[in-house]
A = this chain, B = another copy of it.
Amino acid sequence: MSPSAALDDSKGNGPASGPLTVDGISGLRAKSAPIPLGVAPATSSDMFKSSNCYTKPKAKRFDHVFSLESKSRTVSTLKGAAKFLKNPGIISLGGGLPSPEYFPFEEISIKVPTPPGFSPEETRESGAVLSARKGDAEAGKGLYDLQVALNYGQAMGSPQLLRFVTEHTELIHNPPYADWQCCLTAGSTYSWDTTLRMLCERGDYIMMEEYTFSSAQETVLPLGINVVPIKMDEQGLMPESLDDTLSNWDEAVRGARKPFVLYTIPTGQNPTGATQGFERRKAIYKVAQKHDVFIVEDEPYYFLQMQPYTGGDSSPVPPPANHDQFIKSLIPSYLSIDVDGRVLRLESFSKVLTPGSRVGWVVGSEQIIERFLRNCEVASQNPSGIAQIVIYKLLEEHWGHKGYLDWLINIRLSYTDRRNSMVQACEKHLPREIASWNPPAAGMFHWIEINWQKHPGLSSGKTRQDIEETIFNAAVSNGVLISRGSWFKAQNLNENQMFFRATFAAASSDAISEAISRFGGALRTEFGI
């Protein structure tokens, strides 16, 4: 941890009176400067964080982690001129921003649910229609004007939506260093691509879970970056394996410098469904400190943490009684224990609001976010303003933080039901002689291990890979599509186990039961049980 940094008393909003609470947000806002209403205003999380943040030391410097590409980035020439726009009475012939009269959208409206009536049926009854028009700001009808959303924006995102995610981040994670920042992005896949280009050089190795999200690895490999797989157990990533890998790294043998980037999905990991407990996270963070590793935590499933699985006949655990209990029920993130500023958290609305927005955000230290932003400015520019204003209207103007937490609790309970259907179907339909699993604590995925050593094809010379394919095809023939574990294997992993991944995100409870029954049938036939 860095020595207590000089604290800037002018920063932060409101008195430093302990961690931010949901009820404290209105007070925080009352003491803050007003949201800038114009086109593409400069903005940052500093405008929205509470004073409590600045009682903490600053993040460490990570000058040594940036790629040559990232180090070469400079501030945009044209942005430098924007400072003159503050001169009173000045007429700008400078920027190339189109005039709003050429945006043929006068108004945009969305129909959305009102808490607690979240179902489509209840939305028809009690839902609200939220609208944004071109002249709203001038007419005093809202802080995020449609003509602003339709114009160019800053890569950091609109201050209106950035405020919400900054407050949400402080509320949920309350990072233990002072100078953390959020930056809106064009979705987590884009955030990951940008992060890789910011940190890694061709020929580098990064560390990933031995089974990992295949698209995340497909982002890595074409950049000439290699993967060293880290072993997992039922809680996912194992700190011992991480430490071993790093302690025994031989640059000469590997032909590459010691890895310094760890990519992990701590909660409801894709594909294994594993969730790292709090002690596990602390142990991994400690190894990261020991070897000066930078952690990228990709957390789309964080709010798909479910109620404990109690089995078919036991009574279910009661849902969180209130927002506070809900927040306390969540396993703390790496961000929340990151005293050094060595974590970049990739946040997503895809699993809790909509993947179609292509709006997400990242959280990291000011130094990291500044470099990240320099890439976005000349690539994605900014997430779609149309998507930003739609999400803003819902989260900020209709739900507020309380309504959003209600929604997240609703999602938690829905996924608990789905997970229960899946696990109960497996208990009922799968042959225990060869199939085993752990009930997932979070996410969308159920990971089923198959004891392939018992497959009769083994004696006729079939390989592990052959048998996996045979089972997959048998399942398809029996009317169920289920993902092969090998599709998710990290580069350089020598597989000796066999898994299949089943998602409970989309199908109905009945369809899940029928599908698992079909899979069970295919397994029985294959294994001659």
Contacts and interface: CB of A to CB of B under 8 A. Distances in A.
Interface of A: 68-70, 72-74, 76-78, 81, 84-85, 87, 89-99, 101-113, 118-120, 123-124, 127, 129, 134, 149-153, 186-187, 189-190, 193, 214-215, 218-219, 221-224, 270, 350-359, 374-375, 377-387, 390, 394, 407, 411, 414, 444-445, 476, 479-483, 487, 502-507, 511-512, 514-516, 518-519
A420 to B, nearest CB: 15
Contacts of A193: 378-379
Interface centre among A77, A390, A511 (most CB of B within 10 A): A77
B380 A98 contact: no
Contact of A105 (B218, B224, B394, B483): B394
Given A77-B214, A106-B120, A108-B390, A150 B91 contact: no
Nearest to A514: B91
A398 to B, nearest CB: 10
Q: Which 4 A-B pairs have the closest CB atoms?
A: A356-B385, A384-B384, A107-B111, A193-B379
A386 B150 CA distance: 13
Contacts of A270: 96
A378 B69 contact: no
A119 to B, nearest CB: 7
A469 to B, nearest CB: 12
A373 to B, nearest CB: 13
Number of copies: 2
A111 B106 contact: yes
A215 B150 CA distance: 20
Contact of A379 (B97, B190, B357, B445): B190
Contacts of A476: 84, 87, 90
A356 B380 contact: no
Contacts of A481: 81, 84-85, 87, 90-94
A223 B386 contact: no
Contacts of A94: 481-483, 503
A201 to B, nearest CB: 10
Nearest to A71: B222
Contacts of A98: 350-351, 355, 444, 505-506
A315 to B, nearest CB: 26
Interface centre among A120, A355, A518 (most CB of B within 10 A): A355
13 contacts: A72-B224, A78-B214, A84-B476, A92-B515, A93-B480, A93-B481, A93-B482, A93-B503, A93-B519, A95-B506, A106-B120, A106-B123, A108-B111
Given A72-B221, A108-B110, A445-B96, A358 B382 contact: yes
